[in-house]
A and B are shown apart, each in its own frame.
Chain A
Amino acid sequence: MKKILILGGGTGGTIMTNRLRKALEKEEWEITVIDRCKTHYYQPGFLFIPFGIYTKHDVMKSKGDFYPAGVNVMFSKIEIIKPSENRVVLEGGKVLSYDYLIIATGTQTNPEETPGLKEDLWYKEIFDFYTIEGAVALSHFFKRWEGGRLVMNIAEIPYKCPVAPLEFVFLADAFFHQQGIRDKVKISYVTPLPGAFTKPRATQMLSGLLKEKNIEVIPEFYLESVDNEKKSIKSYDGQEIPFDVLAIVPVNMGSDVIERSGMGDDLNFVPTDKHTLQSEKFENVFVLGDAANLPTSKAGSVVHFASEVLFENLISLIEGRPMLARFDGHANCYIETGFGKGSLIDFNYDTEPLPGTYPLPGIGPFGLLQNTKLNHYGKVIFRWLYWHVLLKGKEMPVENEMSMAGKKI
């Protein structure tokens, strides 16, 4: 019996169990997925919780519901990966061997990396919304808040879902309007990037929206520490910004097990061939999604597109054929902009987000780099697609590789 081991049973790991179990003979191949946590969170939904649009029950399901029959599912922490011995050791000492390994351990927020961040004000006046705990705590805070300065800060790059902090300030603007206190709230978007986003065309469009909504942008701010007494954030070059409530994207890092196993870079992301998705060091190890050091967004859409490439290459390797599938870094992100509207960007390693229509050229129905009601519905419908189509590894109604058709240069 040959063995495939999948570390991490989140978006990427779940898709792979579904694709692989369908493709490989049960008599020949044993597939095992390991995760430390039994709950599958619909992470794009976390964003809506602080504003009371979703509750935590809208984003939680049991992981076990999404793995196919015939896959071994183990809930355990992983102690260490020993790729030169083709073994993984679980907490408690159980040893698993494998023929092929897929690392899909994701990225986590590490507030401990920033002095002063996880101290007195944590979950009192400082919140993240990348964890269910942070998002729920912030929803309680916003219910009672009467106004002041809301600072949204990104601590480090890269971070998961690069548009989420922008969506957060757009939704905050709408939320405080609805609460009738928008005039009492100052919203500041503080980022280490040189502008609202990295790519020029998208930055231009998003900067316009931020201005329209009276949201201040403070670029090139690289967070050093948080002062809990003065309630301010400080940068390495001595800038200081006071806040009444701080929404933070803490430093994102790959899983601890990657560090313990000596397989990561300085942020515990695994060096990965950006086209084949194979580990740069070990032929029988593939890396899927946020866990990899790929130069593209850390986001569910990327995981989904990458999973098709990884699947094809793994099957080719198993069958002794050359690995021909090449990942292009394709990412596709809905951007909630508040008041029932949304925007959409579609890009890859080489092509920045451009205006146009998606997925059908000239027809859409979604507008790229446009602010429309239909885009918002796309995001709303996506939650259903995520649970019922995407995780199951079924065909999504969009192309895997990014297409230039429908884009205006």
Chain B
Amino acid sequence: MGTKTIAGIEIQVNDEGYMMDASQWTPEVASELAKEEGIELTDKHYEVLNFIRDEYLKGNQLTIRKVGKSGIVDIKGLYELFPGGPLKKASKIAGISKPSSCV
């Protein structure tokens, strides 16, 4: 755990760099977090980020499939927007906690 200053805001993050308080998130913070992941955010990225934030704040579990069915982007497209682990990266940039797979 620690704090870091992103886009002029003191933000609390956990050991893996996920924000501890989703309410501290702003689009500017997202832009900075994305740069750390080597991603330049486009409008499409923000649509995805807003979708997963909405779902998260409603208490719904997120899956790649769910984002793929959102109508914003298909799964292939999601991988192109957030290469590597798309849900993990998108969650990190969206300022929400790491998606947990509960098996």
Residues of A within 8 A of B (CB): 156-159, 162, 193-194, 197-198, 220, 222, 224, 236-237, 265-267, 293, 295-297
Contacts and interface: CB of A to CB of B under 8 A. Distances in A.
A220 B79 contact: no
Contacts of B102: 158, 198, 295-297
A238 to B, nearest CB: 8
A293 B61 contact: yes
Nearest to B70: A266
Contact of B103 (A162, A237, A267): A162
Given A198-B101, A297-B103, A156 B65 contact: yes
10 contacts: A156-B65, A158-B102, A159-B103, A198-B101, A222-B64, A224-B76, A236-B75, A236-B78, A237-B83, A266-B65
A-B pairs, 7 with minimum CB distance: A162-B103, A295-B102, A236-B79, A266-B66, A237-B79, A157-B101, A198-B101
A158 B75 contact: no
B101 A224 contact: no
Interface of B: 60-61, 63-66, 69, 75-76, 78-79, 83-85, 100-103
B76 to A, nearest CB: 6
A229 to B, nearest CB: 21
A157 B79 contact: no
A222 B64 CA distance: 9
Nearest to A113: B65
Given A159-B103, A162-B103, A197-B103, A224 B75 contact: yes
Contacts of B75: 222, 224, 236
Contacts of B83: 237
Contacts of A266: 63, 65-66, 69
B63 A157 contact: yes
Q: Which of A158, A224, A266 is packed against the most chain B CB atoms within 10 Å?
A: A266
A157 B64 CA distance: 10
A264 B75 CA distance: 21
Given A220-B85, A224-B76, A158 B103 contact: yes
